[in-house]
Each structure stands twice: as structure tokens, then as C-alpha cells.
Structure 1
Amino acid sequence: MTDGSDAALLDAVDDRSTPAWTRAHAAGIDRTERNVAPIIYPPEAPLDPALHVWDTWFLRRRDGSVAEIDGYRVIFALTSPSELLPGKRHDVAAIRYFYSRDGKNWTTGGRVFEESEPLGSRQWAGFALYDEGEVFAYYTAAGRRGEAELAYTQRIALGRGGAVETDGDGLRIEGPWDHFVLLEPDGEYYETEAQSRGMIYTFRDPWFFEDGDRTYLLFEANAPVPDSADVCGGDPAQREFNGCVGIAESPTGDPTDFELRPPLLDAVCVNQELERPHLIVRDGTYYLFVSSHDHTFAPGLDGYDALYGFAADSLRGDYEPLNGSGLVLTNPWNAPFQAYSWLAYDHGDEALVTAFFNYFDFDRPTLDDVALLPESEQLRRFGGTLAPTVRLRLDGRETRVAGTLDHGHLPLPSEELPEPWWEPGEDVAVSGYLTPPEADAGDGVLDVDDPDC
């Protein structure tokens, strides 16, 4: 553990062995027919009408494959009661699981942990591992149990000991669970809450990964940058944006024991949040994906709520941004917040990308404007369920969107996909979704008295 001195932090900053997402890269971010998803419309029925559902992940085996148990596949997701205002859902988030035989029709299984069990005052995104009949549920322990005021302390935690049972009535995941903290920031590789400059603080979103015989956890964090560091051209406003993709290694392969290692990628001077980092490995190329927001880009840069990606020839290789800028998949200009929290997984010749259905019928330039809506409209315009799955082509350092599947359709790699119905550049499906006409760009102010609001 470092004492937080500038000298120690400067040594870390000066170590350019960490690949960087640079301002020059991010300056090239732009919507094109290769990276924009089509407009999302509400499904006939949400995943569960009683719940807001957002960040979602599969139950997987150690090799990264989706676990099938007696014909069922399982997803985990952050949830809250659906009568809650969507903007408050993170304050009470709990992990629930859902199961399906066909990847289309999902049954709610219930909470993974009993309310009094997990660490923190609420749980944020994680990873679920099924190994030798046992469930290891990695999660972000946000806040501290029993806190008087909501805190944003974040630790990477694990619940182990869960078992999966199936019978004629479906599938159940049951404890007892043993909960403990796996990782906390060290102040040298990864910024502590005390070191944070006041922008959104992050140490969360664990993702389990095995590379050959070595076992890792990826996670989202921030790279400490001292005030005296000569980075970002000396601009203190840019230095506040210091997101990175963290990594920890298990020295023995034990999935309950990890040690911090230097970051895989940093976005110092570029972006504050590199959320839910995860990998696809194909033909010797390591594709590293993160989600990020438009408002977490540093001053002087314009980005979108989008899936961003990077590629290298090894896990600790020199990651380069996909498509030159890093932008892989984003929302149309006239529905800029329709989906978020993308997660890509391999499917033969394609990658499939799941996300949650966020705000629709809403084209304002910032999500802050949601709070100006009447509460009934905040609820109506929040999807709160699984988004349509996006089909993505990976070709070296280039990607392109190749169509979509239905809301929440999550096929396994062994299941055939229909012929793509949308090839970018060959159909008018995305016509007009790329760049807003100047006359319709608006003034950024939401008129709550408008009857169409």
C-alpha cells in the first residue's frame, strides 16, 4: 500500500508500459453506418413487469463459455422494484437471476442473496462463475451496510458457496453463501476514494477471465494522477478524468484469491469511466470492451453513450482502439440514451452484444433533463428491461454492426442465427439516425409544459 506521496504516484504515471486511450484517438469519435444501432421500440412485454432490470451477465464456466445446466442458461442482473423512479434504482440495486431454455423466454428466479447477506448497502455489477458445481458470485459492494447516509465506497466482493438445483418446476440458485472482500484500491495502481478529485469515483465491475493457465479479474478503476504530474498538457481540468481498466491475478488459480497488477489500459486525460470491462479472444486477438457515457469525456472531447473497444495480440499487449477512435457501437442521435451497459460475447463469426433498454422517446442532449419530466413520464420513458441483441462483425482492428435480434434474445454459440436483415450501407434502416439536422438540433432545454413531453 502506498503512502500516497507524489513521488510514488509520479513513478506510476511515468510508467508508459500501460497502453493508453489518447485524446488523439478519442478526437476521431463519430457516428457512422458501421457503429449505430437502429431505434429501439418497447417490447410486447418486459422481462419482468415488477422489476427495473439493467446491467446483465451470464453464468459462465472457467473457460468463459456460457454454463448450461440441465438445458438451462442463466443470466444475472441488477434490479430494483419497477415502481421506483429509475434515477433512484442504483441506490437499492440487488442482483437477481433469470433462466431460460431457449435464450428468448426468461423466468425470474429471484434474488441471488438474501437481503441481509451481501456486503455493502447495495450491489452493483459483477460476474457469475460456475465451477465444479459451485457458484462464485463476484459483485461490487457499494456503500457499507447500516450506513446512515448513502455512501459511494466501492469494493470488489465475492459470494461463494451457491448451488444450482433443477427440477420440473425450473431452476433455483441457493446458498448458504460466504461473503468477503476480494480487492480494494491500493492508492498506487488504483485511486482510493480519498484520492478522488470529485468526479465520479470507480472501483467496481469485476469480470473473471482465464488466459491459458493464469487466472485474472478485470475491473473498472481510476489511475491516480498527482497534482504535480506533467500530464494532460498541465491542464488540471483534464487530469480529473483518469479512468482505467484494472486487473488482478490469482497466484495459484484459486478463484477466491487475487493480487492487484498494473492496469491493462488507461484513459487519463480522456475519460473517467471505463465501465464493465470484458474480453473476447478470437484468432489470437484480444478484444477489450468497455461502456462509457458522453458526460464522462474530458473537456475538449465529444463522445457518446457507447460501447468502446480495443485490440491487442496478448492480454498485456499494446491495446489499440478499434476503428481508430475506439467507438464500436452507439445509439442514434435522436435516441442517444436508448441503451447502455453493453456486454459482448463470442458467437462464431460474430459477436453478440446485449444491453439494457434505457430511456426511449427522449432525445435531449443530457440525461440530467430526465429529472425535469413529471414522475409518470420518467417511469414511462424508462425501458428497464433487456434491449435487442446487436450483431457485431469483428475483422482485425475494425468492427461493424450487422443487425439485431429481439429484446433479450441471447443465443448460445451452438445456435444458428438468421440471415442478417440489416447490412450497413445497404438499407435505409439507419437513414437520418447518424447526424441531427441543424434545424432540429434544439437548444438543450426540455420544455416540460409541452403537451408532447
Structure 2
Amino acid sequence: MTIKKSVRKKRKALASLALAITFAVSVFNPVQAEVTDTTVNWTREQASQIKLDKSNTLPYTDIKELEKMTSDYHIWDSWPLTDRDGNIARVKGYKVLFALTAPSDVLPGKVHDIAKIQYFYSRNGKDWTLGGELFPDGDSLGSREWAGSAMFDKGKIYAFYTATGRNGEERLTYEQRMAMSIGDVTADKDGIRFENWDEHSILFEPDGEHYQSYEQAIEGGYSGYAFRDPQWFKDPKTSKEYIVFEGNSGGAVSERTCKPEYFGSPEHTAPNGSEHFNGNIGISEVVNGDFSNIKMLPPLMEAKCVNDELERPHIIVKDDKYYLFTDTHINKYAPGLEGPEGLYGFVSDTLIGGYKPLNGSGLVIANPPENPYQAYSWLVLPSLEVISFAHFGDLGDMDINEVGHQSPEFQFEHWGGTMAPTVEISIDGDRTEIKRERPQGWIK
């Protein structure tokens, strides 16, 4: 009995010594996790599965029957004021909607050259009153203001936008930078006002590695360029804060090739010219909420050799999953692929990495084939309402690129330039479905 106890004591002692040694080794030589590329590619195989059906196709909209938000201005890309957590904000009972605008006598094809952000406010989310320009004239950093987002916190508005071109440039350029300013919010019986803006600042610019610079785009024989649409996002799981945006993969065209991992399977290849298509969705961290400390991260997703323009990217979290949405055009697909003007989506269990296309292909909402350009710039709200603007309607077989060659009367007759009907969708895991239409610009 005594001998057995002694043996057991020695074994325990040896086991404890081994555990201590193991622990000591692990402290000085920590196990390294495998480092992998977390950027996901939307593959040609996935995109080839795009198919319109009743679950993803909008009903026909007669653009001529839509009510103008204002008779004085065209409006297009729009976004609501949210709180820091991404919920629709209410300021003393008001909801706020921001939109890109241009005077209503400007031809539709010229609106992007003079775009200004204006805002509307509403108590019921249906009837909107024009508040005016968001920023005082001359304060913003670009020659025009392109889309962004806006967050409300503790009486302040944090306004993010795309500074396109430079103030005072003699010839319009398409340089794009992420910009912001912080202002005070005042609300009373007369509406909402944004005042006392800080000096505008550039948050970050493309690094040329993960995100193509304007110089690289020009060097490659400029065919398209994107570094825009900053969208605020706070991760509810970690409370870390980010800005999601649209970009193109780094490098000039001469440096790019179509690799097998972009195809999805050996049966899929890429025709010549596909290397020009390099859209991506970027993300940067606002470290500890400090806007002077922005950490650029690798893209969440790329569409190399698939698509050249993944616009208005944004994320909502539902059922503990991350849903990444983006918009693209018919003419932005690489050779050999086809897809409609539409809203596309991807789902992952984590913010970084793992994204897979919703519905197999990524398509969530498409315009109907008989009216392929009727709406665009879809934005999914946390309530799963989707807002967009009315684009061009009833063009018949005409390609949208031909519209600018038509008479001014034709262009104005077929142009929407106002909010489209709001759409509600449902999400069940990796499947989505259009549920119903609501009034124009309706935010519940």
C-alpha cells in the first residue's frame, strides 16, 4: 500500500513537472496561427449562376408616375442618418435622408460633374422636406461631393463623403478620396439644421497595393476607377468601428493576370480583356474611435476578372451573420459574364473572410428585363427595407450609354431623378427574397 502511494506521488510529480515545462515553453514559444489571405474572390463560376426569377426581380415601375422629391433638383444616391450602432437615428422625432443632387435643368448625364449633398427630414419617414445643402458652399474638399454616409452621436453629425476632384481644378478629374467633417445638429419645430462644421479632412487615400491609385488607373489606360462611397460600420460583436468602401485592386492593368482561383472551377476560364475588371470592397478600421488613426485593411472581397465596379458597399448583421451588400451595373461585367443592374449580397459568420454569395450567385434584387435601368443604388437598412433612386425608364432596346446622344427632351422624359419605391426583403441564412414594395423613399 505504501509502495503504491509512493509510485502515485512520483507519477503526479512527474506529470506536474511536464505540465510546467510545457507551459513554460508555450510562454516563450507561442503557437502561431496560420496566416492566410482573408480576402474572398467573387468567382466567375458563382457569377455565371446569376438568374432572374420572382424572388429577386422587381415589378415594373412607371417612372413617369413617380413623385419628385423636389421640383428644383435631381436626386440619386441616398442614405439615412444613423446612430453610432447603425440604427436609423431620430433627432427630436425627425428622420434625415441625405442624397446627391443637381439642379433639375441639368442633363442627367452631367449631374455627377456638379453633385452636392443635400438633406431631407421627415417625422413619418414618408413625407420629406428639403433642408438644403449639407455643407456650406466651398467647405468640402472636392470639386464635387459623391456618396457617403452619416452618423449621429451625442448631438454631433459625423459626415463621410467622397471628395472627387480638387477644389478649383480647371479640368474635372476623377481622383477620389475619403473625406469627413463633424458638425452640430440642431432640431426644433422648424426642422433640422447642421452647423458649426469642423475643418474638412481626408481620412485615407488608396495605397496602390490593395487599392488602386488614380495614377495606376491612368497608367493602365484609364477604363474606370473607384475609391469612394465611405460607409460607417460598427461591429456589434467587438464594438470596433470601421469604414467600408468601394475600390479597385492595386496595380496597373499591365501587372494583372486572371488566375485559376478567380474562376471557381477548371471548367470556367476568362476571355481576353477580363484582366481589366478588378472591382473590390475595402475596409479600414477607425482605431479606438480616433479618426486621425485609420488602419487600412486588405479588401473584404474582390471581383478580379469578374466585375469592375462594386458600388455603395454596406454591411448589416442579422442572426449573428454578416451580410455584405453592393450594387453594380449591366456593363461592368467581364467578357463572358452577364448580370443585371442590381443589388448583390454575400454572407459570412465573421466580419473578415468567409463571404459566400447569397442565393448561390450573389443576386438579391434586379430590375425587370422590360425596364432594365428603372432603379439603382440600392441600400439595405437594418429593418431589411431597401431604398434606391429611379434611374432611366422605358428605353426599349436602347443601351443606357446611348441616352446621352438623344435630345434633351428625350433624356428628361425618361429620367427618374427621384426616390424609387422602397422594397422589403427577407433573409433566411444564405437565401433572400423580395417581399413587397412600399411608397417612394419610405423609411419605416
TM range (shorter): 0.7 to 0.9
2:271·2:335 contact (CA, 8 Å) conserved in 1?
no
Q: Distance in 2 between matches of 1:266 and 1:43?
A: 38
Corresponding residue number in structure 1 for 2:181: 159
Q: Distance in 2 between matches of 1:120 and 1:229?
A: 30
> Cα 1:375–1:299, aligned 2, differ >3 Å: closer, same or farther?
same
Q: Aligned letter for 2:364?
A: V
Normalising to structure 1: TM-score of the pair? Answer: 0.84
> Cα 1:271–1:168, aligned 2, differ >3 Å: closer, same or farther?
same
User: Helix, strand or coil: the match of 1:194?
Assistant: helix
Are positions 1:201 and 2:242 aligned together? no
Are positions 1:40 and 2:98 aligned together? no
Quote how far apart the aligned CAs of 1:317 are.
Answer: 2.9
* Per-residue deviation, residues 303-350 of structure 1 (Å, max 9, x unmatched): 111000000001013100001111110100010000000000122xxx
Q: Distance in 2 between matches of 1:176 and 1:397?
A: 42
Bigger Cα displacement from structure 2, 231-240 vs 383-392: 231-240
Q: Distance in 2 between matches of 1:228 and 1:69?
A: 49
Q: Distance in 2 between matches of 1:44 and 1:311?
A: 33
Corresponding residue number in structure 1 for 2:241: 215
Corresponding residue number in structure 2 for 1:18: 39
Corresponding residue number in structure 2 for 1:52: 74
> Cα 1:143–1:284, aligned 2, differ >3 Å: closer, same or farther?
same
Quote how far apart the aligned CAs of 1:237 are.
Answer: 1.1
Are positions 1:85 and 2:107 aligned together? yes
Quote how far apart the aligned CAs of 1:164 are.
Answer: 1.6
From 267, 272, 287, the equivalent of 2:308 is: 272
Runs (5+) with no aligned partner, structure 2: 1-34, 261-269
Corresponding residue number in structure 2 for 1:418: none
Quote how far apart the aligned CAs of 1:235 are.
Answer: 5.7
Quote how far apart the aligned CAs of 1:146 are.
Answer: 0.7
User: Helix, strand or coil: the match of 2:380?
Assistant: strand
Corresponding residue number in structure 2 for 1:449: none
From 68, 79, 91, the equivalent of 1:69 is: 91
Are positions 1:115 and 2:137 aligned together? yes
From 330, 339, 351, the equivalent of 1:294 is: 330
* Per-residue deviation, residues 80-102 of structure 1 (Å, max 9, x unmatched): 00110011000000000100000
2:326·2:343 contact (CA, 8 Å) conserved in 1?
yes
Q: Distance in 2 between matches of 1:264 and 1:102?
A: 36
Corresponding residue number in structure 1 for 2:7: none
Are positions 1:359 and 2:392 aligned together? yes
User: Helix, strand or coil: the match of 2:216?
Assistant: coil
Are positions 1:368 and 2:404 aligned together? no
Give the alignment's Cα RMSD to 1 decimal: 1.6
Normalising to structure 2: TM-score of the pair? Answer: 0.86
Quote how far apart the aligned CAs of 1:78 are.
Answer: 0.3
Corresponding residue number in structure 1 for 2:410: 377
> Cα 1:404–1:88, aligned 2, differ >3 Å: closer, same or farther?
same
Q: Distance in 1 between matches of 2:38 and 2:150?
A: 31
More helix by share: 2
> Cα 1:346–1:275, aligned 2, differ >3 Å: closer, same or farther?
same
Q: Aligned letter for 1:321?
A: P
Q: Distance in 1 between matches of 2:191 and 2:439?
A: 23
Corresponding residue number in structure 2 for 1:429: none
* Per-residue deviation, residues 404-424 of structure 1 (Å, max 9, x unmatched): 00111111xxxxxxxxxxxxx
Q: Distance in 2 between matches of 1:312 and 1:158?
A: 29
Q: Between Structure 1 and Structure 2, whose CA radius of gyration is higher? A: 2
Q: Distance in 2 between matches of 1:230 and 1:186?
A: 20
Q: Distance in 1 between matches of 2:274 and 2:84?
A: 39
Q: Distance in 2 between matches of 1:49 and 1:257?
A: 42
2:81·2:88 contact (CA, 8 Å) conserved in 1?
yes
**Equivalent residues in 2 for 1:49-448 (5 A)?**
49-160=71-182, 162-196=183-217, 197=220, 198-211=222-235, 212-225=238-251, 227-232=254-259, 237-347=273-383, 351-411=384-444
User: Helix, strand or coil: the match of 1:157?
Assistant: strand
* Per-residue deviation, residues 424-447 of structure 1 (Å, max 9, x unmatched): xxxxxxxxxxxxxxxxxxxxxxxx
User: Helix, strand or coil: the match of 1:380?
Assistant: helix
Bigger Cα displacement from structure 2, 271-280 vs 362-371: 362-371
2:242·2:284 contact (CA, 8 Å) conserved in 1?
yes
User: Helix, strand or coil: the match of 1:218?
Assistant: strand
Quote how far apart the aligned CAs of 1:259 are.
Answer: 1.6
Quote how far apart the aligned CAs of 1:176 are.
Answer: 2.9
Q: Distance in 2 between matches of 1:255 and 1:132?
A: 16
Q: Aligned letter for 1:19?
A: V
* Per-residue deviation, residues 271-313 of structure 1 (Å, max 9, x unmatched): 0101010011001111100000010111111111100000000
- Aligned-pair identity in percent equals 43
> Cα 1:265–1:225, aligned 2, differ >3 Å: closer, same or farther?
same
Runs (5+) with no aligned partner, structure 1: 1-13, 412-453
Q: Distance in 2 between matches of 1:268 and 1:225?
A: 12
> Cα 1:108–1:230, aligned 2, differ >3 Å: closer, same or farther?
closer
Quote how far apart the aligned CAs of 1:167 are.
Answer: 2.0
